[in-house]
Copies of this chain bind each other. A is one copy, B any other.
Amino acid sequence: MELELECQGHDFLKENTVDEVALMFKALSDPSRIRILYLLSQEACSVNHIAEVLQLTQSAVSHQLSYLRTLRLVKFRREGNSLFYSCDDEHVISLLKQAIQHAEHR
């Protein structure tokens, strides 16, 4: 049966698909972004709150949020002077949580 399978054709990934997947995983491949996304998966947060909780500078957080916004992984609503960010891609959050589960239980 292995031999049968070896003779079949293979899926080939479209360049577009590969690049999109790469971008998606790249977004998840940095510790700061992982912590930001995980925090936002639990509650909407202002930029300063994220910075305080995660012990990052406001600027670093803002840059990362800008990055995540571009990929539409987060969205925000304004409330007075503050911007409350939250997750905007459940699928990505799902992947993140699976990876966390996997890393924790080992």
Contacts and interface: CB of A to CB of B under 8 A. Distances in A.
A34 B10 contact: no
A21 B96 contact: yes
Contact of A29 (B17, B22, B39, B91): B22
How many copies of this chain? 2
Interface residues of A, number: 35
Q: What is the interface of chain A mostly: helix, strand, loop, or mixed?
A: helix
Interface in A47-86: none
A22 B31 contact: yes
10 contacts: A10-B42, A18-B35, A20-B103, A21-B96, A21-B99, A21-B103, A22-B28, A26-B29, A28-B29, A91-B98
Interface of A: 5-6, 10-11, 13-14, 17-22, 24-26, 28-31, 34-35, 38-39, 42-43, 91, 94-96, 98-100, 102-104
